[in-house]
Amino acid sequence: MVDEVMRSTQRPEVIDATLAALDPDRDRPPSVMEVDSLTLRFGEKTILSDVSVAFPRGTVTALIGPTGSGKSTFLRTLNRMNDRVSGFRHDGDVTLDGVSVWAPHQDLLSVRRRVGMLFQRPNPFPMSIRDNVVAGVKAHGIAKGRQLDVVAETRLREVGLWDAVKDRLGESPFRLSGGQQQLLCLARALAVGPEMLLLDEPTSSLDPGSTESVENLMRQLTPALTLIVVTHNLGQARRVSQSTILFYDGRLIEHGATSELFDAPRDPRTQRYVNGLMG
Amino acid sequence: MAFRTASVVALGFVVGPALWLIVGVIARAVPHWRWNVLTTVPLGNGGGLENALLGTLVIMAGVLVLAGTVGVLAGIHFAELARPKRNGRAGSSSLRVASEVLSGFPSIVLGYVGYVALCVGLHWGFSLLPALLILSLMVVPYIAKSTESALRQVPTSYREGADALGMATGYALRKVVIRSAMPGIVTGVLIALSIAGGETAPLLYTAGITNSLPSSALVHQPIAYLTYYVWTDYNQPSAQAHNLSYDAALILIVLVLILLVSARVIVYRTQRHSESRR
């Protein structure tokens, strides 16, 4: 009987079916986030025009483009960080698991919990290292008391910071190096259990060593998470992403597999940008 | 170089008078200092200042509770809640205008208003409650202003970080924003307290004066305060009274110094994890 079961479960179609049934994301759309003809204005100024793109679950997408091309604004729209900017108006939609992030019944706080963010400059809070990691966890009531210490240790280990800070969890985060501060912010973002992470030039203020650890982490975080990273570092886009999007003047110019976009760009502007002929 | 010289001279103008004042009061008060000044009430031209010391402490505590609460909440309102969303500039809500007008009022006018409206109008007489209300009215704009500017100096990156984690606005305000503005808020409140403790004019009109110790009565019972004796006893034609006047000044200065030192200690303790202290 046991043998029979063992044999039957070794058949590929059974294994695939079993795996598919076990996949926690099986009932969800293949794209965790979809942007549908998004046009965005601050007052009279149009920042983004008619951007449509889907972010497949468990992938890293790089957003590249010259300064002022709208890629950071685009990123900050995805977790509604732009809502409070004066004159913010939008047409089109951004959906998270098929539900608009602006839907009336959509809870902004839970959108932001599910879509985490890492900023250009590390921004730890003025509290101890441990309290920084669990700040979001406490805010959402995910854990409390002794559990918080476990969360802190787990997340600090996850980002590879534990050994460096385990003896000074009660100390100020501002004594850490810039790279360590950024990893701490990453631990803080991961602690609330997001499905996506938006990274806004996460390594532009870091030294090469810290940049490498952040990039390694980005690779490890997929496919559990979906990552979107804005970067001016084309090498980084090549190293970490599966697909790349070029923004130019508020428009999505080209979107494709990273290797294709870099090696065989279709649009002349993409060609000039990836070859360093355009800032 | 000229700039450097000028700033050293300016510094001298600030530090000089302060030192002169402190040293002058100490030199006149300490030689005849007796500790029972703190434990006896005035008697004729002599006696002690226990009534005034306790009265001033009660008044300061009352102002801390009343003006501290109202002022800090008003400051939070100005900095966080009344912030207009459209143009990003500081709004000129009627509340802000009222606060600014209030801070420009001479304290003796406030005292007179208190006397007419509260002591006479409401038949409260010279007592603690009108004194508290008027002193609080006087320092609330100051506390609100210092709280507001402390909150405005909180880096945007803290607010963005809190937003991005999905913290509710009120929660982020309490746990992140106010926490990092705490030194400015505390300093503002304590300086306001020392202003209140050093006031005379509004108290002359509202608190009255008495030789007995403060009671639990909020109204119908005058209350003593130190600044009264600094002025009144100095104008008495007796050395004993002069001594009491200097004693009162010394006690006031010590109280203010204690407040300032506590402000520094609180700032130090709340800022263990701040960006400016690495």
Sorted by where each begins, the domain ranges of chain B are 51-84+92-270
**pLDDT over 90 at A275, yes or no:** no
Number of domains in chain A: 1
Contact B275 A113 (CB under 8 A): no
Residue A128 in any domain: the answer is: no
- Residue A181's alpha-carbon distances to A46, A109, B193, in angstroms, are 35, 24, 39
Long-range Cβ pairs for the range A253-262 (8 Å, 24+): A253/A65, A255/A53, A258/A62, A262/A234, A262/A237, A262/A238
Instruction: Check if B121 contacts A (Cβ < 8 Å).
Output: no
- Contact status, residue A245 vs residue A214, Cβ threshold 8 Å: no
Using only the alpha carbons of chain A, give its radius of gyration.
20
Q: Is the four-CA dihedral A198, A204, A209, A210 of positive or negative sign?
A: negative
Please give the ipTM for the structure prediction. 0.84
Q: So what's the pLDDT on residue B85? A: 47
Residue A145 in any domain: the answer is: no
Find the farthest-apart pair of alpha carbons in chain A and give their distance in angstroms, rounded. 72
- Contact status, residue A76 vs residue A157, Cβ threshold 8 Å: no
Per residue in B130-179, pLDDT (tens digit) is 999 999 999 999 999 999 999 999 998 999 999 999 999 889 999 999 98
**pLDDT over 80 at A23, yes or no:** no
Residue A187 in any domain: the answer is: no
Residue A268 in any domain: the answer is: yes
Q: So what's the pLDDT on residue A26? A: 73
Instruction: Check if A81 contacts B (Cβ < 8 Å).
Output: yes
Per residue in A153-186, pLDDT (tens digit) is 999 999 989 999 989 999 999 999 989 999 999 9
3-state secondary structure of B47: strand
* Nearest by CB: A86 against B88, B163, B175: B88
Q: Is the four-CA dihedral B114, B116, B118, B120 of positive or negative sign?
A: positive
Cα–Cα distance measured from residue A108 to residue A97, given in angstroms and rounded to the nearest whole number: 14
Q: So what's the pLDDT on residue B214? A: 85
Give ∠ CA A112-A113-A115 in degrees, rounded to 5: 60
B156: closest chain A residue by CA: A123
Residue A102 in any domain: the answer is: yes
Residue A162 in any domain: the answer is: no
Q: So what's the pLDDT on residue B86? A: 45
Q: So what's the pLDDT on residue A157? A: 93
* Nearest by CB: B166 against A87, A121, A140: A140
Using only the alpha carbons of chain B, give its radius of gyration.
22
Higher pLDDT, B97 or A7: B97
For A29, other C-beta atoms within 10 Å of its C-beta total: 15
Task: Give Cα B249 to chain centroid, integer Å.
Answer: 16
Find the farthest-apart pair of alpha carbons in chain B and give their distance in angstroms, rounded. 70
Residue A236 in any domain: the answer is: yes
CATH number at residue A200: 3.40.50.300
* pLDDT by residue, tens only, chain B of 278 residues: 789 999 999 999 999 999 999 999 999 998 888 898 888 888 877 888 999 999 999 999 999 999 999 999 999 988 887 765 444 455 557 777 888 888 888 889 999 999 999 999 999 989 999 999 999 999 999 999 999 999 999 998 999 999 999 999 889 999 999 988 988 899 899 999 998 988 888 999 998 888 888 888 888 888 999 999 998 888 888 888 888 999 999 999 999 999 989 888 888 887 777 777 64
Q: So what's the pLDDT on residue B56? A: 93
A111: closest chain B residue by CA: B166
Q: Tell me which residue range forms the domain holding A107.
A: 28-123+196-274
- Contact status, residue A132 vs residue A173, Cβ threshold 8 Å: yes
Per residue in B260-269, pLDDT (tens digit) is 898 888 888 8
* Nearest by CB: A123 against B85, B158, B166: B158
- Contact status, residue B119 vs residue B205, Cβ threshold 8 Å: yes
Q: So what's the pLDDT on residue A113? A: 93
Contact B273 A111 (CB under 8 A): no
Q: So what's the pLDDT on residue A223? A: 84
Instruction: Check if B89 contacts A (Cβ < 8 Å).
Output: no
Contact B166 A189 (CB under 8 A): no
Which of A113, A119, A123, A182 should we substitute to test contact with B (largest number of B Cβ atoms within 10 Å)? A123
Q: So what's the pLDDT on residue B209? A: 86
Q: Which two tokens stand for residue B225?
A: 């305060």
Q: Which two tokens stand for residue B246?
A: 């200097």
DSSP state of B274: -
- Residue A62's alpha-carbon distances to A86, A115, B166, B190, in angstroms, are 28, 16, 24, 51
Across A44-57, average pLDDT: 91
Contact A126 B180 (CB under 8 A): yes
Residue B271 φ/ψ, nearest 5 degrees: -105, 20
**pLDDT over 80 at A257, yes or no:** yes
- What is the CATH code of the structural domain delimited by B51-84+92-270? 1.10.3720.10
A190: closest chain B residue by CA: B165
Contact A125 B162 (CB under 8 A): yes
| Exposed e or buried b per residue across A67-94, where buried means at least 16 C-beta atoms within 10 angstroms of its C-beta | eebbbbbbbbbbbbbbeebeebebeebb
Q: So what's the pLDDT on residue A6? A: 64
Residue A22 in any domain: the answer is: no
Per residue in B85-104, pLDDT (tens digit) is 444 455 557 777 888 888 88
Q: So what's the pLDDT on residue B277? A: 60
